[in-house]
Structure 1
């Protein structure tokens, strides 16, 4: 059995700890923030490949109770209200599971509570500053003066990872995508009163995505009467919208969508707590995912644009693949054996991860519009989306149909 130190208690870190536990190892999760992040963060859509990976961890049925089913999406032009195309968002697993939209907090809480139930310790207020590699393991040193000893260390600490530069001091900085992210959830009672005369033009379970004149956005009603929406305004070099108060933020956002033939301006006005706009990044490629007794998972290794819709799903896939690679490992194994296991994990995950990052980048590009390109793009989009729809199943099976066989024999087994 290995004693594993996991840095970061987000989706990647908690999933990894659960996977390591399934592989027969002990895991302790160290989080820089001082407490759990219940109620923190926006919302996400977990794709069916993410649910398939959660099934390996024994959590698919519980996760399928979170949020609401969103298996469909429709694309529109904001300038004319014209319908472009409908898409099946990833298909359906054999048991009927579809993609589901949920708050990040809901997924986090499920993973955290299950980790604790399975005997995984989570320590808060432990910000990593240094890792000392020893012949028989690693020591993680934290900014509060404490330290922890383990056989290996997993960097699951996201885009701004503290572990990544320890593995490779020359690792690249995140790459900027010139889009901001914001949004909100309108409670059912507010929606019933403030939006009673508003025609959303979409039923629960379907995302309505709009290429607006000045901003890309999406909204969807849930079966319980809430309305969920997000927007991707262009990131400008002028004043930071994150510094705006709620009323100023509403005014700015409604100004961006004022010329569109959609009800999104009313949705913005009805939202009590709009998420402060934040920047978008990705990683084209991280040269090294592991070194010695340290390894990366999730956004620390391969952050994709939110336009991929795959951040959480890819993190869970990483966790399952790493846990499988470490099955049967013991603290008596030589460093070369551990390196072979890390290399097998990376060899399996890197091609898929980098393909998803590139795909997410391409998905972001049509959202980066200005008045000089918008009219031409609008003219071309209907033809483009029709072509995509005709071969959608072939295009997306590589993404949503991915399955990790936990019982498969790792490639390094004969080494």
Structure 2
């Protein structure tokens, strides 16, 4: 069987996945939603997942929800806290984490591995659902992969051909040898007993009762070279336990390095942890001897490459994880999601190689960095590197990441760069967050002038909580960042109605934009500037757009803006794309001046070079300091809590209906609104000219 002939971009890809574990099934679910044809090959008869329970932290929980998998529906329970003891039972840490974990958008949950596996399998293969159901072939051991032609051969001789083969077959990967044959996993020197104990059993035992009484708590006991970890799952009804120890203590004399799931005895388990707290001894005494195994914890050197021809690796096949941070499954889920984001519906077959190269680049650094964190976490307590290791400093790196947003944005930039190399007239224009834009050339018509209190200003504002991981991709350079480490940000859709402007001959105009709050800019000398960042500003008059762009570096574009009381509508050529409504407004009696010392506005100026497409004459950060603004005298302020922002859905016709601003509209429409914090309508006299805008560096 040969590979499929390259077809038009509207043809679904034929994707073969070797391995139907957590990573392989996540990829199958995502590719199914993209409309691709997926076939999975699982060597086991029932495609069951080994192991007991796992962590679904914010970085992978959000991905699962995007794909329609809701862990709380199959018993996953949120993390509430952390208990840490030394091996004798002396308490070292007792931390309630519920408030601190709120900084991340998605809840950190603890899930039974088998239940997650079943949910993913159902989502991938069920007849009902978005896209064609994946085909799962069990008892299908892969014996050969043709990386050039994308052919998978099974034991027995059956062959299957695809546009892409994904090796998701775990730490003992068969597919890995077709990319780098000499790289094999090795023992880390530690093994782990894995077992589960019902809460009911623990609650009736006086020694273990307290350990099961706190719902959602992870508990750790540490000795120098061994540790016991426990955490609940299945709606806090079952305790998942992990007893890690030097391998030589539990290894059978006839065992080999490949015996990673050896049966062992309960007596061996109790002997290894005989010096631990009596509560631990009581817990270990509840183990079912018949199901007790000791797993060798395997590690592997960094793989030099992830891709060979039409074969690509994900999860433990590329980077086996030790269990010390609970990120192994998360990294497999992130890998799968990256591939899904980089190969959306409509991907041409001949584009696959360049996108796989991008996948390797995106995932290699992050996966191996977290892998290194994990190794350090698992060192013996007397190791100097382990003693000086603060795991909390890596929490933000681990959890403040959304791989779908990250890879989707990387794909956009990849395509933009490729188009630039092929098109001599390719040019970048503000706003850069949305990519290169098509727009007619505009002439300069003058500068804004100082205004007086004769000008009238009415400001309509909806402030809301949103996703920092989504908005972070829009920041124009690495020097910009959020002022906080979490995944929840605040932003405002704001519309301003200006009247009686002297520099416009007594006429006025309206503008509408998105203010992203809590942004900072770090200069090369370490100086920090904080404020709200403005990625785009729509205006309904040409003159303000031109002067704002040229004089201030503001990212202005055109649209029609209609304001009726507390309802704002944005449109283009009579086609509406947004409606914003504010309700429940009540007047605030105090009249104050609008503008505060910390009310800074951050901008990014970009000037394309004339006659040299793709080159910038200038690009640099700009700040408009709130303390230097022209202040507006507020005559009336109305505030409330009821706000609604709706984007009209044009589906696949969006770019046809809005040929010059469709990309921006799509970017704004995808901004999630978690919660409306406040709506307001402020009437005042005077005009903020932003005349104090200045270049930062």
TM bucket by the smaller chain?
0.7 to 0.9
Residues 61-72 of structure 1: pairs in structure 2 closer than 5 A: 61-63=70-72, 65-72=74-81
Distance 1:302 1:90 in 2: 33
User: What residue in structure 2 maps to residue 370 of structure 1?
Assistant: none
| Residues in 2 aligned to 1:147 and 1:354: alpha-carbon distance in whole angstroms | 33
Pairwise CA distance, 1:329: 4.9
TM-aligned CA distance change 1:44 to 1:144, over 3 Å: same
Q: Is the 8 A contact 2:56 2:109 kept in 1?
A: yes
Indicate the structure with greater strand content.
Answer: 2
Deviations 1:119-155 (A, max 9, x none): 1110011111112245xx4211111221111111111
Aligned partner of residue 366 in structure 1, secondary structure: coil
Give 1:326 shift.
1.0
Match of 2:330 among 302, 313, 321: 313
Does residue 266 of structure 1 match 2:282? Answer: yes
Match of 1:52 in 2: 62
Alpha-carbon distance in 1 for matches of 2:71, 2:102: 15
Contact 2:215 2:236 in 1 (8 A): no
> Residues 22-48 of structure 1: CA distance to partner in whole angstroms, max 9, x if unpaired?
33311111111122316x432212212
CA distance in 2, matches of 1:89, 1:230: 24
Distance, in Å, in 1 between the alignment partners of 2:214 and 2:364 is 38
| Matched residue, 2:415 | 413
Distance 2:111 2:151 in 1: 36
1:218 corresponds to: 229
Structure 1: distance between partners of 2:367 and 2:96: 23
After superposition, give the CA deviation of every residue in 1:285-339 in whole Å (9 maximum; x if it has no partner).
Answer: 1111001111111111111211131011111111111111112454x633xx221
Which moved further from structure 2: 115-124 or 272-281? 272-281
How many aligned residue pairs are there? 388
Ranked by relative contact order (alpha carbons within 8 Å, sequence separation 6 or more), the top structure is 1
1:67-78 aligned at under 5 Å gives the runs 67-78=76-87
Counterpart of 1:79 in structure 2 is 88
Do structure 1's residue 156 and structure 2's residue 168 form an aligned pair? Answer: yes
State yes or no: 1:356 paired with 2:355. no
Q: Secondary structure at the match of 2:40?
A: strand
Residues 12-161 of structure 1 correspond to what in structure 2 (within 5 A)? Answer: 12-37=23-48, 40-59=50-69, 61-63=70-72, 65-79=74-88, 81-84=90-93, 86=95, 88=97, 92=101, 97-117=106-126, 118=129, 119-133=133-147, 137-161=149-173
Which of 10, 32, 42 is the equivalent residue of 2:21? 10
More helix by proportion, 1 or 2? 1
For 1:277 and 1:90, locate their aligned partners in 2 and report how far apart those are by CA, in whole Å: 36
DSSP 3-state at the match of 1:302: coil
Q: Distance in 2 between matches of 1:189 and 1:80?
A: 22
Q: Deviations over 1:237-293 (max 9, x none)?
A: 774296555xxx222222222222340111111222553001011233111100111
- The Cα of 1:401 is off from its aligned counterpart by 0.9
Q: Is the 8 A contact 2:78 2:107 kept in 1?
A: yes
Over alpha carbons, which structure has the higher Rg? 2
Sort the Cα spacing of 1:251 and 1:297 in 2 relative to 1 into closer, same or farther, 3 A.
same
TM-score by length of 1: 0.84
Compared CA separation, residues 33 and 77, structure 1 to 2 (3 A):
same
Report how far residue 11 of structure 1 moved.
0.3
For residues 221 and 401 of structure 2, what CA distance do their matches in structure 1 show? 28
User: What's the Cα RMSD here?
Assistant: 2.9
Question: Which blocks of at least 5 consecutive residues in structure 2 are unaligned?
Answer: 1-11, 254-260, 419-697
343, 349, 353: which one aligns with 1:339: 353
Cα 1:244–1:350 change in 2 (3 A) is: closer
